[in-house]
Each structure stands twice: as C-alpha cells, then as structure tokens.
Amino acid sequence: MKVISFFLAVFVLDAAFTSLLTWLYLCFYPFSLLSATWTLALLRLMLLSGVSGKLLEKLAPPRGWLQPRHVVLHLLVLTLTSPVSDTTRFLLLQEPVDLHVGVVWSLLPLYTVCVVSGLLWELLVPWRPVKDSNGAGTEANGRRKAREALGRLWAYSRPDKVPLSGAFIFLTLAVICEMFIPYYTGKVIDILGSKYREAEFYVVVSLMALYSMASSLSAGCRGGLFMLSLARLTRRLRVLLFNTVVRQEIGFFESTKTGEITSRLAADTALMSRSIAANVNIFLRSLVKVVGIYCFMLNLSWQLTVLTLIDLPVTALLQEIYNRYYKGVVKDVQDSIARSGHLVGETVHAIRTVRSFATEQEEAEQYNAQLLETHWLKIRRDVIRILYCLARRVTQLAMQVIMLYCGQHLIRTGQMSSGNLVSFIMYQTESGRYIRTLVHMYGDMLHSVGAAEKVFLYLDRKPEVPTDGVLKPQSLKGHVQFKNVSFSYPSHLDVPVLKNVSFELRPRKVTALVGPSGGGKTTCISLLERFYEPQKGEILLDGRPLRDYDHKYFHTKISLVGQEPVLFARSVTENISFGLQDCSAEDVVRAAQEAYADAFIQQMEKKYMADVGEAGGTLAGGQKQRIAIARALVRRPQLLILDEASSSLDIESEHKIQETLSKMQGLTVLVVAHRLKTVENADKIIVIEDGRVVEEGDHRQLMEKGGMYHRLVQRLFTQNGDLE
Ligand SMILES: Nc1ncnc2c1ncn2[C@@H]1O[C@H](COP(=O)(O)OP(=O)(O)OP(=O)(O)O)[C@@H](O)[C@H]1O
C-alpha cells in the first residue's frame, strides 16, 4: 500500500509540475525545442528527487521493495525517456521535437511501465547477498567476499604467471584481429556494389584473410595457455586441499560426510580454478570485444549505435533471469544424479544385506524413482532453455528489424553506405552475444567464488588436535598415565563418555582393559592414539603430554591394531610395511612370522606380492587381523595396543601370538579383549564401566574381590564365553 501511495503521489506531483512547465516553455522558451526537452527533464528530475526523499522518510515503505537505488533508477527512467526518445527521433528520422501537451495521459503509461517493470525486477532479480556470520547479508559484504576470494585465487595462480601473461597477450591479439573481419566484409560489399576496382578488392580480401589467420592462431594459443594454467592450478589446489584435509582431527571426519570432502576435492577445486582461468579468459575476451565492437560501430554510424543501446538492458535482463533459473535447475539435476549414484553405490556395497533381506525389487524401484526425478528435472531444465532461446530470438529479430528500418533511412539520406550497414549489423549481432556472455560470466564467476569460499573454509581450518609436537627422545620406556581424563565425542558434546578416568600402563607390562560393551574402552585407546583431545585431564607418555611428541615419531613408537583392521587394496608386503620408507623384505617376513601370518601368506599364489583386494576382501577375518598385527609389529613399537585384535583368531593362533609378544623385550602392551584367555594372564586388569574405572588388579586379586570382574567371569561360564 505504501509503495502504491508513493508512486501515486509522485505521479500527481510530476503531472502537475510538467503541465505547468510545458505551458511556460511553450510561451516563453527562446531556444531550440530539443534543448527544451532536456532542460525540462532535468528540472523534473531535481523536483522529483527532492519530493521522493521527503516522501520516503514520511511513508517509510518496507525495505527491499523500495530502496533508494530503486527510486533513483525509476526517476532517471521516468524523466530521461522523453528527451532521449525525442533526440533519437530527431537525429535518426529528422522528426521535429514536440513538447507534449496532454502531459497527464502521456505520463501515465510511462509510470505504469516503470512501476510494473520495477516491481517485476525486484521480484525476479533481487540481489542475493552473502550472509555474514550473524546470518545478516549485505550487498557490500557479498561483493567484498567475492573480491577477497578472487584475490586469493589470483595469489594461488602466481606460479602460472608466465603462461597466463602469454594467454592475455594472445587474447588481446585475437580479439583485435577478429574485430577487423566484419569491417572488411562491409568493404568487400561496397566494392562489389559500386564500380569494381580489382586492386582494391584484392587488398581488402588479403587483409581479411590475414586478420582471420592471425586471429585463429592467437585464439588457439590463448586457449591452450589458459587451459594449461587451469590444469596446473587445479592440481596444485587439490594437493594443497588434500594435505590440509588429511591433517584434520578424527572428529572432523565424523562430522563431515565423505561425499562432501570428495566433492570439495573434485568439483569445487575444478570450479574455482575455472573461475580464474576459464572465466577470466572468456570475461576479458568478451569485455575487450564489446569495447572494440562499439568503437567500430560508432565509427560506422553513431546514430545506429545509440539505437542499439536500447537492446543492452533487455539482453542483460534476459540473460540474468535465465542464469538465475537455469543455474538453480542445473544444480538440482546434478544433485539428483549424485543421489542416483549414491543409491547404486550403497546397494552394491551392501549387496549381501540386500540379498539376505531379499530387497532387490525395492532397491530397483527406489532407483527407478530416483531416475524419474532426474528425468523430470531435466525436462524442466530444457523447457527453461527453450523459453530463453525463444525470447532471445524474438528480441534479436525485433532489434534487427528496427536496425534495418533506420539503416535504410540513413542509406537513402546518404549518411551511410550499404556495406557499412552490413558491417554494422554483423557487429551488432556479435555485440549481443558478447554482452550475454559478460552477464553470464559475471554470474558464473560469483558462483565459482562460492565454490572457492567452501574450499578456503577447508584450507583455513586448523585441526583441533594439533600435530606440531617436536619431542623425539632417543629411547622410550612406554610408561602411560591417564590423569583425571574426562571426554565427550565432538559430535555429542553433551554425552560424557569418560568421567574422571585415571590409570597407568606400567612399562614392559601387559595391561588389559575389560568391561561391559559401551563402557569406554575403545575411547581410552582413541585418546591414547590422539584421535581426539580430552576436554579435561591429561595423558602422559614417560611423564610428558602426548601433544609434545613429534607426530611421526609418536606413531612409530605406538602401534594400534584395531577392532576391525583396515587393509588397503595393495599387496601383502605393502600392507605390512605401510608408511615405512626403509622397511626391508626380511623385516616384513619376520613381522609376519611373529604375527603367525607367514604360513597362510606362503600358501597364496603370489605370496607376499598377493593383492589383498578392496579392504582386504580376499582374506578371512582372522587372516586380516594377523596382517594387521604384523603391520604393528614391523615398526618395533614401544607400546602396542590391541583392541579386540584377536577376536577372529582361533585359540592356537592367539596363543602363538601371545607367546611372541611375551618374548618381545621391553614392550608395553595394552589389550582390550572379551576372552578370558587373553585377559587372565595380563599383569594388570582395569575394569571400566560406564566411563569410570571401577576395579584394578590382577586376575587373582579381582576374582577374590568378587566385584564387577568376578561377575563378568561368572557370566563367561554361564553364557557364551565372552567377558562382558
Ligand atoms: N565416534 C563416536 N561418536 C560418538 N559417540 C561414540 C563414538 N564412538 C563411541 N561412542 C559412544 O561412546 C561410548 C563408549 O564407546 P566405546 O566404543 O569406547 O565402548 P567400548 O567399551 O569400547 O565398547 P565395545 O566393547 O563394545 O567395543 C558408547 O556409548 C558409544 O556409543
């Protein structure tokens, strides 16, 4: 309502003021009527600006609908349309200027068009600012972020400054040469149309051929150099990002989906390098070209050039609206395709579960539904494209008709040759293409900047568990102390998992952690491995906090064999010597023998060179565990952590491995096990229940005590043989 009142008030005032001024001008104005239209327009602009300012203050219409920049734009269009159209008509068609007498009725349609188009513009093309940390977005904020991101991308491109500079030089050359071609085409038409002069014809045709060749050659070099820079930049960014990602703490990987990380690495890095190399390439080419084309057009006919300016906002608006809808639907299509891919991956990955629940048909139906969604989205995308092409063709055609109409007038009055008109129309068609590209590229660049911001977010992320310790003592005793450690997982900070836990692993002794499932045993190990940092308390190794130790050193001195050992799709040797540079074949074999794995490896066709398949898929559970134990032992660790590491082993293998471990001099062992056999021989047993240490001692002491451990062992005899 306030918006309508505003425009109504402006209209009434303007109509009254214009009527009065027109009457005064018609009676007293001594100069030409052309200058009268301009002075009248300026007076109206001044008056309306003052009145609008006051009205805006009084009415205070809702922001977003009527911002000062909209009002300024509306006033400019309202007041300047009339003098611009009068001047154009006068210059092109020599029509005399006529100060409007029926002012109210001539202003009304103009107002209606302005208000409706303004509202439509606001609805269709609002500025979408980048949200700041408080969720509030500002226009300046969005631009600033885009500028910053582009600046950073530019800095990452510095190593490619030689190919990039070369590319820019070729770009300019190609554009300059290209621009001469329509000019000479017009010249050829003029020569053929008038008295034929052979020498002149050959000179013009040769020049045209020369410029064409030079432009093609330069364009090729420009494209090649830009693509080279782009490929190099993408590779550099990916390596940098991968390096940053793998250094993040484990909590980061728990809270971030794998798909998100791979998408940052694959799609977003490519998108951001495209923004600097490809987009800047096309953007600059189009910009230089538009400027050059307009110079040529001005040279051929300034009157027609003024006329083409009408086309500019229409083309830009059409392209902007198209970009907005098309990009949205393209993103939906991509997401939908990704969902189909994910569904296939998930089903194939869990094919055993699918088979055992006989849900093949349901999975196929789900896939079909997903593909249908993609199909409809693609149809929507194509319809938008068709509508855009139609609108573009219609505006182009309308423009060309107007151009031809005015052109024939100029030719008839001798202001232009027919060759020049042909050249002009060629330039004008091209200029439309490049203006569309400019608008498109601007949007695309901001879009790529969005991808860049996401990548920068990862690149700037500091791991919450830093790995910058420097301590590398010559020898370690392997004495570990948990001191009042309290911990919650980052994903569930409100759920305390360890509550004031304190215990000690004595050097060269075997300590067992036992307790009911979910009590916090694996969590203790994760903290010892520095996967997470405790919120309270500290963990010491030989009296020094774990974070003081050098990352690489620490993990060669502490080896972990987890509950479900992960093997890589590489050979047995590569899996055992994983991460070690100077590990000999003998070391690998010795570790395999100690882990009681040598016998089954020897039976494999390629022995130590045999590939274990994806995630060790070609091996049995017990075999995987033995390779994982060999991988831990080959490092000659000071502290060995076995988290259910022998759960899939038969009694004999487990016994042999235990014998080996007991023979290893100076090794501190921490074992988490549910089997009584594994635990009862430990030097010390720590019972953990619900995140607290409830008992400590050796098997005999704890049995005598008759507490939780005793109950666990009792259950062992009555139930399935497991200590939980
Ligand atoms: N990554 C995680 N994020 C959030 N909570 C977790 C995570 N891992 C474990 N937990 C929770 O922490 C608690 C302790 O788990 P933990 O794996 O340490 O128990 P556990 O004693 O080793 O059990 P089990 O003997 O079955 O392996 C459980 O309640 C579990 O749900």
Q: What are the structural domain ranges in the chain? A: 1-124, 141-300+437-462, 302-415, 480-721
CATH class, range 141-300+437-462: mainly alpha
Per-residue pLDDT averaged across 578-583, rounded?
A: 80
Query: What is the CATH code for 480-721?
Result: 3.40.50.300
* Protein residue with its CA nearest to atom 2 in ligand 1: 489
pLDDT of residue 368: 93
pLDDT of residue 456: 86
Ligand 1, pocket-test mutation among 252, 489, 526, 693, most atoms within 8 A of CB = 489
pLDDT of residue 109: 61
* Protein residue with its CA nearest to atom 20 in ligand 1: 518
Distance 519 CA to ligand 1 centre (A): 7
Question: What pLDDT band is residue 560 in, cutting at 50, 70 and 90?
Answer: confident
pLDDT of residue 126: 42
**Which residue is listed with tokens 């302005």?**
114
Question: What pLDDT band is residue 107 in, cutting at 50, 70 and 90?
Answer: low
Question: What pLDDT band is residue 182 in, cutting at 50, 70 and 90?
Answer: confident
pLDDT of residue 110: 62
- Is residue 131 predicted with pLDDT exceeding 60? no
- Is residue 199 predicted with pLDDT exceeding 90? no
Ligand 1, pocket-test mutation among 497, 499, 524, 687, most atoms within 8 A of CB = 497
- Is residue 550 predicted with pLDDT exceeding 50? yes
pLDDT of residue 442: 67
- Is residue 569 predicted with pLDDT exceeding 90? no
pLDDT of residue 488: 92
Under a CB-based contact definition with an 8 Å cutoff, are residues 532 and 612 in contact?
A: no
Question: What pLDDT band is residue 217 in, cutting at 50, 70 and 90?
Answer: very high
- Is residue 129 predicted with pLDDT exceeding 50? no
Distance 546 CA to ligand 1 centre (A): 22
C-alpha closest to that of 272 among 162, 155, 159, 138? 155
Question: What pLDDT band is residue 634 in, cutting at 50, 70 and 90?
Answer: confident
Question: What pLDDT band is residue 487 in, cutting at 50, 70 and 90?
Answer: very high
Same fold, 141-300+437-462 and 480-721: no
For 81-85, the CB contacts below 8 A with 24+ separation are 81/110, 82/37, 82/41, 82/110, 83/37, 83/38, 83/40, 83/41
Neighbours of 116 (CB within 10 A): 10
Tell me the ipTM for this assembly. 0.96
Lowest mean pLDDT across 65-74, 133-142, 510-519, 553-562: 133-142
Question: What pLDDT band is residue 595 in, cutting at 50, 70 and 90?
Answer: confident
C-alpha closest to that of 507 among 471, 482, 541, 483? 541
Under a CB-based contact definition with an 8 Å cutoff, are residues 340 and 367 in contact?
A: yes
Residues 6+ apart with CB under 8 A from 287: 438
Please give the Cα distance from 416 to 37 (Å, whole number).
28
Lowest mean pLDDT across 47-51, 265-269, 305-309: 305-309
Percent of the chain with pLDDT over 70: 84
Q: Find the residues whose C-beta lies inside 6 A of ligand 1.
A: 254, 489, 491-492, 497, 515, 517-523
Distance 502 CA to ligand 1 centre (A): 18
Please give the Cα distance from 286 to 718 (Å, whole number).
82
- Is residue 118 predicted with pLDDT exceeding 70? no
Per-residue pLDDT averaged across 419-433, rounded?
A: 81
- Is residue 696 predicted with pLDDT exceeding 70? yes
Please give the Cα distance from 658 to 649 (Å, whole number).
12
pLDDT tens digits, one per residue of 434-476: 777 776 676 666 666 767 777 888 888 888 888 888 888 888 8
Higher-confidence position of 658 and 250: 250
Distance 522 CA to ligand 1 centre (A): 7
* Protein residue with its CA nearest to atom 3 in ligand 1: 489
Lowest mean pLDDT across 290-299, 448-457, 637-646: 448-457
Ligand 1, pocket-test mutation among 499, 523, 679, most atoms within 8 A of CB = 523
C-alpha closest to that of 440 among 395, 390, 397, 388? 388
Neighbours of 247 (CB within 10 A): 15
Reported as half-sphere exposure (CB side, CA atoms, 13 A), residue 40 has a value of 30
Distance 523 CA to ligand 1 centre (A): 6
Per-residue pLDDT averaged across 571-580, rounded?
A: 86
pLDDT of residue 239: 92
Query: Is-above-0.80 flag for pTM?
Result: no
pLDDT of residue 372: 93
- Is residue 412 predicted with pLDDT exceeding 90? no
Q: Which amino acid is at 75?
A: L
Higher-confidence position of 245 and 338: 245
Per-residue pLDDT averaged across 300-319, rounded?
A: 77
